[in-house]
Amino acid sequence: MSETMRNRPSGPMNGGRALAEMLRLAGAGPMFGMGGFQLLPFYDAIGHVGLTHHLINDERCGAFAADAYARVTNRPGICDGTLGPGATNLLTGLVESLNGGIPIIAISGNTNRAHSWKNMTQECRQVEILRPAVKEVMRIEMISRIPELLRRAFAVATSGRPGPVLLDVPEDVCHGTHDFAAEAFEIDEATLKAPARRARPDRAEIERAAKLIAKAKRPLLLVGGGIHLSEAYQALTKLAEAQSIPVAHTMSGKGSISCANPLSVGLFGRYSRIANDMIDASDCLVVVGCKLGEIATKRFTLPPAHIPMIHLDIVAEEIGRCIPAEVSLWGDARAGLEDLAEALSDSDRTARARRTDYVAEVAPRLRKWEAEAAPRLNSPDRPVHMARLCRELNKTLPAESILVADGGFAGHWTGLLYDTKQAGRHFIPDRGLASIGYGLPGGIGACLAAPDRPVVAISGDGGFNMTLGDLESARRIKCGLTIIVVNNAASGYVKALQHAMMGGRYQSADLNEMDYAAIARTMGCGGIRVEDPEALAPALQQGMEERDRPTVVDVVVTRDPAQMLPAVDNRTVQIKQGDRVA
Ligand SMILES: Cc1ncc(C[n+]2csc(CCOP(=O)(O)OP(=O)(O)O)c2C)c(N)n1
Ligand SMILES: [Mg+2]
């Protein structure tokens, strides 16, 4: 008998307790939320059954923290919100997880059904509001069905493309009592972590794909966040190395292969070092776990239509959505990559020999890019240049660390210039919905998921302002998180666009000059203000050494909107690719 089965509860208990017991059996990690009357019995049971729950000051942050926790562990992140505003505050975070394919279980309290729709305080149509924000809504109408629906929530969250599930719990279900049999408390271990099950692509299609790759002189792998969800790291590196195929990645796909691997050609799409040029010169693209959305394709101008494309994805209807695929591989990324490697294995030696010159191009191309970018990467400028900040991150962060990147420039600059030193989820940008405000709560979730590893978050000042209240949570939770605030006293992305497109007419783009390090210190956290680039590395080091409280590193960067974009934004001006690489 498994441990789970031995610890099954039985007898009369309230709905909240039954919920908590199921989460305990599922091995749920830390949960994030803010209580209210409806879920009180659930909160009461949390400590009793030995689960961990953190009060968060904004439910959106709870959902973001759960999302980052799930990205690091591939286990469902868990968050909750009370009736009405608690539930609706979850919305932005849940859409991030939905678009990013991240397994989440969100619990919302709802009204007592004896009084629903009689203008109950806080009441709203929360299920309807949240329905399109999640993979599935499960409304629990009977206390006796709590174990069954929790079981299903885990299965839905971790199967196929993972995603968020909303469990909507009426007050009377949470507070009411049922006499449970021990047999009710059962959970399928396979569903506790994504991917719950692995589907293999059709054999004949694998053979077709293998033939296409075999005859290609310049094949290129384009990979997205699906590699992380499938934990396909080894399979990807193995195929790339066995066949000498360089690898380019999206922002979410960074870390699919180590950025230090000689076959890694970096980010492709809106911002690129050499990857876009490699795409242009390719004769076979192998796209894996990647939706080929706007940013990855430079607003659908990449890749050129004449290059044959093999597209491997877990969601069949995602294949060919934006760009037609010559070969469609429907299945799990790891399984598909393994099958491709196996189908090609007889040709490994000859393929490597034939592609010697091809892969030998990568290093000099990168060196050329590096030489062009060097003045920015090594910039001694004050205010600090963003490229210099990225370089200091590359130098200072250890291989096992995690960098969480917020939706503003922080994400784009680090997406382009930050290098992971090993494969794995070491870079977490919120590219599902690209909301600002993810950095701090995402950092909290990542810290709790990886308590022994340094976690650094990087956020714009606008994004930080949005979620500053949860610095209090980070301190209370004793997160040894380092949070870099990219302080440009502006909603910089907007200001840069207004500079480029609106003739410098700035509207609602400026923020106050603030000292976020001083604010952090007032809140009982560490706070370091950095104005000199030489002070970056020691500040980051000091932040990472603080193991039981957060440190804010407030970095003063340029206020010049002409200097803010990491490369030319293709929606604004058409400038030759590579004109401004950093
Ligand atoms: C919730 C939300 N609102 C608006 C946007 C649009 N947006 C993208 S970047 C940006 C600027 C954010 O300012 P800040 O966080 O200071 O970052 P900066 O661009 O200045 O580095 C805005 C408003 C968004 N992504 N998310
Ligand atoms: Mg800003």
Q: Which of 469, 475, 568, 465 is nearest to 510 (CA)?
A: 465
- In the 8-state DSSP scheme, what is residue 106? E
Interval between CA 492 and ligand 1 midpoint (Å): 7
pLDDT given for residue 6 in this prediction: 66
Find, among 32, 140, 108, the residue nearest to 77 by Cα: 32
463 lines ligand 1 (CB under 6 A): yes
DSSP string of 457-480, one letter each residue: EEEEHHHHHHHTTHHHHHHHTT--
- Answer yes or no: is the C-beta of 408 below 6 A from any ligand 1 atom: yes
Instruction: Assign 579 a pLDDT band (cuts: 50, 70, 90).
Output: very low
**Residue 492 Cβ contacting ligand 1 at under 6 Å:** yes
Residue 484 CB less than 6 A away from ligand 1 = no
- Around ion ligand 2, residues with a beta carbon closer than 5 Å are 460-462, 488, 490, 492
In 438-561, where do the E strands start and end? 455-460, 482-487, 526-530, 551-556
Q: Is the predicted pLDDT of residue 569 greater than 60, yes or no? A: no
Distance 517 CA to ligand 1 centre (A): 21
Quick one: pLDDT at residue 566?
82
The reported pLDDT for the residue numbered 28 is 97
Count Cβ neighbours within 10 Å for each residue of 450-468 and write b for 16 or more, e otherwise: beebbbbbbbbbbbbbbbb
Both structure tokens of 301: 């101008």
Q: What average pLDDT does the segment 389-403 reach?
A: 98
- 490 within ligand 1 shell (Cβ under 6 A): yes
Cβ of 357: how many Cβ atoms within 10 Å?
Answer: 8
Nearest to 322 by CA among 331, 332, 313: 313
Verify whether ligand 1 is closer than 6 Å to residue 29 (CB atom): no
Atom nearest to 433 CA in ligand 1: 25
Examine the pLDDT at 517 and tell me if it is beyond 70: yes
Cα gap 105→166, rounded to integer Å: 6
Specify the pairing of strand 482-487 against strand 455-460.
parallel
Structure confidence by residue, pLDDT tens digits, 402-415: 999 999 889 999 99
Mean pLDDT of 488-504: 92
Which residues, in sequence order, are bridge partners of residue 530? 555
Whether 438 is in the pocket of ligand 1, judged by its Cβ within 6 Å, is: no
C-alpha 45/C-alpha 572 separation (Å) is 54
Atom of ligand 1 at shortest distance to CA of 459? 15
Q: How far apart are alpha carbons 394 and 419 in whole angstroms?
A: 6
Using a 10 angstrom Cβ sphere, with 0-12 exposed, 13-18 middle and 19 or more buried, the burial of residue 3 is exposed
Confidence (pLDDT) at 109? 98
- In this structure, what token pair is assigned to residue 468? 């500053």
Distance of CA 488 from the midpoint of ligand 1 (Å)? 12
- Residue minimizing CA distance to atom 13 of ligand 1: 491
User: Each residue of 87-134: pLDDT tens digit?
Assistant: 999 999 999 999 999 999 999 999 999 999 999 999 999 999 999 999
**Ligand 1 nearest atom to the CA of residue 410, by list position:** 21
Half-sphere exposure (Cβ direction) of 274: Cα atoms closer than 13 Å: 23
Cα-based distances in Å from 314 to 101, 171, 193, 201, 213: 11, 37, 16, 9, 20
What pLDDT was estimated at residue 3? Answer: 58
Task: Strands of 143-299 (E only): list them.
Answer: 164-170, 177-180, 219-223, 247-249, 264-267, 284-288
Query: Which one, of 344, 112, 119, 315, lies nearest residue 239 by Cα?
Result: 344
Q: Closest by alpha carbon to 261, among 271, 275, 247?
A: 247
On the question of pLDDT at 347 being above 70, the answer is yes
Q: What is the 3-state secondary structure (H, E, C) of 274-295?
A: CHHHHHHCCCEEEEECCCCCCC
Distance from the Cα of residue 205 to its chain's centroid: 30
Q: How far is the centre of ligand 2, averaged over its atoms, from the C-alpha of 162 (Å)?
A: 32
Instruction: Kindly report, residue by residue over 537-550, the tens digit of the pLDDT.
Output: 999 999 999 999 99
Angle CA 59–192–428, to nearest 5: 55
Reading the block at residue 104, the tokens are 């989440």
Cis, peptide link before residue 383, omega less than 30° from 0: yes
Pocket test for ligand 1, best of 389, 406, 414, 436 (most atoms within 8 A of CB): 436
| Local confidence band at 357 (pLDDT 50, 70, 90 cut-offs) | very high
Residue 4's pLDDT band, with cuts at 50, 70 and 90, is: low
What 3-state class would DSSP assign to 42? Answer: helix
Q: Is there a contact between 14 and 61 (Cβ–Cβ < 8 Å)?
A: no
> Which one-letter amino acid corresponds to residue 7?
N
Mean pLDDT of the chain: 95
**352 C-beta neighbours (distance < 10 Å), count:** 15
| Mean pLDDT along residues 421-441 | 98
User: What mean pLDDT do residues 185-213 have?
Assistant: 97
Q: Is 323 helix (H, G, I), strand (E, B) or coil?
A: coil
Kindly give the distance from the C-alpha atom of residue 514 to the centroid of ligand 2, in angstroms, as a whole number.
Answer: 11
3-state SS assignment for residue 533: helix
Integer distance in angstroms from the first to the last C-alpha of the chain?
A: 58
Sheet of 136-139: strand order equals 53-55, 31-33, 77-81, 104-110, 164-170, 136-139
Expressed in angstroms and rounded, the spacing between residue 410 Cα and the centre of ligand 1 is: 10
Cβ–ligand 1 contact at 436 (below 6 Å): yes
Residue 574: Cβ-neighbour burial (10 angstroms; 0-12, 13-18, 19+): exposed
- Whether the CB-CB separation of 95 and 129 falls below 8 Å is answered with no
- Average pLDDT on 137-145 reads 98
The residues near 105 (Cβ < 8 Å, ≥ 6 apart) are: 76, 77, 78, 79, 153, 154, 157, 164, 165, 167
Tell me, in angstroms, the distance from the centre of ligand 2 to residue 135's CA: 33
Q: How far apart are CA 428 and CA 439, in angstroms?
A: 9
User: Is pLDDT at 574 greater than 90 in this prediction?
Assistant: no
Q: State the ligand closest to the CA atom of 561.
A: 1
- For the chain, give the percent of residues with pLDDT over 90: 93
What is the tens place of the pLDDT at every residue in 287-333? 999 999 999 999 999 999 999 999 999 999 999 999 999 999 999 99
